[in-house]
Structure 1
């Protein structure tokens, strides 16, 4: 698996991250095979969140990988916090409590990366800064980032937080690519893509923040996958055509499309299917041409001005 630098940190990570949100759907033997397949593919970066499966996903993962000191040195663990039932919570107390809970469930002393999961309307960045300082000094978290945040929300945090923001996890796929399209349609009247995110793509590139696309195969908000979907005939025809050229699956091409972007993104998979996971990892070796990237972009219904 090809690697990349996460943000402007010194942490080298695989270009594809393994999302563990659905690992609770697997039995013990299946979870063990899934984790082992990830490691064999060089995908040793595992993405979690304290709310996945109500916390059980972190427990299942730790058991599946047979967590111990030797294993821990060979993997990269990322988790997220800040979502509570009916609310978001970036209070100092909740962040510290959430991290301790994740560490216990994951059977580890530290997280490589902690992300703030969803923007908290009541955030007091001074409290976030205190929490980050405590977690860093205690050795419980080595790197920090955010998820689903726009530039000004990150800037507000950076005013108080001394740690570098290394990642921003955002929804992005071939069919959910408004953060790309609004940059293509600058100053266009009645542009098909509206700038709803404050140019977060360019902001992250300017500030060396790695974008981690989540739901890379979804259209809408968890409405379904676009691959092999009759709702997207032109897109699937084009993806299949390019997949045949490279002798890979359509899954591989969908991830390769994201990796081709010069922002140096790190897609987060969500599949628990071992074959599809392997296909995702193969995208590391596929480099689409500029023509192919735009052909897929247009086939998804994006219109060039």
Structure 2
């Protein structure tokens, strides 16, 4: 299979990424306990055993505790830092008093946020910094100043975005000579707008699809790594109770189970393998912190290689709940 886009930018990463949103306990200000640390250690170890060497964070995850507990894991295993890739995100701010939750791409916030990220993780440099969600008040020149400051000070090596269109990326990129190398988007067998937008060109049904036109093609052309958040669709195809789900979703879950049995693998590997089969070389960011579920994902790359075009379309058509137009 073709090399990952990130390798073009000097980053040799695993095909799968462990999303660390589930580390550190709840989304509250409660202190981190020894149990939280043990949980994080188990998740990291399961990821490494599954061949995962890239870890995804955000400054808001469990109110900063996800980064803090991950930093505690690194403190106990300092040799680990040199063998993994760490990315984190900033730009989302929680509500404060009368001020609502909001997005903030101001230079001061980006710089302060990265200082906090590095402090919590206990590291000197982030491998990749992502801007979390598009800020309507974004000033590209101001963002470029922040990126330049972070790069020149050695606080971040590479930069990317999350949930952005091609137009938004171009708007940012024209102000900065530092390339944007990642775009993280929701993509899964249960969230199909990224495919529907392409096949519903010149179709009335396409007017209800909410995905930026040409984004996949743009990212592939510009060597921007597409990462998929929530790639397991919150477990609806891999064993989560689905009695309340539509009939076509339940049928797709049954199809996933049959394929997993036939191929002597796990439902998780089938669902992720389907995503990874796409020529965009999508990099799933698995959000589970359960060691057993992490281990269940390890066969995904092999399943992507083995999956036939016919099997891929079987899953796609079943999941969309209608025949191809």
The reply on whether 1:78 has 2:105 as its aligned counterpart is no
Equivalent residues of 2:196, 2:206 under 8 A apart: no
Matched with 1:100 is: 115
1:68 to partner: Cα distance: 5.9
The reply on whether 1:262 has 2:279 as its aligned counterpart is yes
Equivalent residues of 1:257, 1:293 under 8 A apart: yes
Matched with 2:32 is: none
1:236 to partner: Cα distance: 1.0
Matched with 2:258 is: 241
- Seen in structure 2, the aligned counterparts of structure 1 residues 74 and 271 have a Cα distance that, compared at 3 Å, is same
Structure 1: where are the runs of 5+ without partners?
none
Structure 2: where are the runs of 5+ without partners?
26-34, 95-100
**What is the RMSD of the two structures over their aligned residues, measured on CA atoms?**
1.8
Quote the Cα distance in structure 1 between the aligned partners of 2:41 and 2:104.
33
Deviations 1:69-116, CA, capped at 9 Å, x for gaps: 532111110000000121100011010000010000000000000000
Deviations 1:31-79, CA, capped at 9 Å, x for gaps: 2121112122221100000000111110111112436653211111000
SS in structure 2 at match of 1:271: coil
Quote the Cα distance in structure 2 between the aligned partners of 1:144 and 1:69.
24
1:187 to partner: Cα distance: 1.0
TM-score norm. by structure 1 comes to 0.93
Equivalent residues of 2:71, 2:122 under 8 A apart: yes
Matched with 2:238 is: 227
The reply on whether 1:298 has 2:313 as its aligned counterpart is no
Matched with 1:275 is: 292
SS in structure 2 at match of 1:190: helix
Q: Which moved more, 1:104-113 or 1:174-183?
A: 174-183
Aligned counterparts, 1:1-305, within 5 A: 4-6=4-6, 8-25=8-25, 27-66=36-75, 69-85=78-94, 86-191=101-206, 194=209, 196-218=211-233, 225-228=236-239, 229-230=242-243, 231=245, 232-286=249-303, 287=305, 288-300=307-319, 301-305=321-325
Aligned residues: 300
SS in structure 2 at match of 1:268: strand
Quote the Cα distance in structure 2 between the aligned partners of 1:233 and 1:68.
43
Quote the Cα distance in structure 2 between the aligned partners of 1:38 and 1:9.
23
